[in-house]
Amino acid sequence: MKIKTKEDRRTRIKYRIRKRVQGTEARPRLTVYRSVSHIYVQVVDDMTGRTIASASSVEPAVKGTLGTQAKGGNVAGAQVIGKTIAARLLEKGVKRVVFDRNGCLYHGRVKAVADAAREAGLEF
């Protein structure tokens, strides 16, 4: 695959990561997707192919908890999403996950989601 665009590069990195990172029932995969104005998080059990929990900055329940400064496109909004997904997982009895950055660099909003989830009680 030739790399012609930024999206091609991200896709190539994503496939390289997914060769090594796999979610199981004991440790599901927490995957992050970020667009320009929103951030989405899913927790997936790859063995059965089902989504255990998800959270995004688009959901009405989460939009209400975002403050005036926090939006889906900034670090403050990503921290709220990280805390939300951790609370939903702990409610379901999942404490350990594997983090999948989905081809994005581990900084900014992606790192904010991971740090907030760790602070809220997830282990990875």
Question: Given strand 98-100, what is the order of strands in its sheet?
Answer: 50-56, 39-45, 29-34, 98-100
Q: Which domains does the chain have, with CATH numbers?
A: 6-119 (3.30.420.100)
pLDDT tens digits, 31-79: 999 999 999 999 999 999 999 999 999 998 888 877 777 888 899 999 9
Q: What is the pLDDT of residue 41?
A: 97
User: Looking at this protein, which amino acid is placed at residue 80?
Assistant: V
Distance between CA atoms of residues 119 and 108, nearest Å: 16
Q: Which residue has the tokens 């760790």?
A: 118
d(CA 37, CA 18): 25
Q: How far apart are CA 93 and CA 69, in angstroms?
A: 31
Q: What is the pLDDT of residue 91?
A: 96
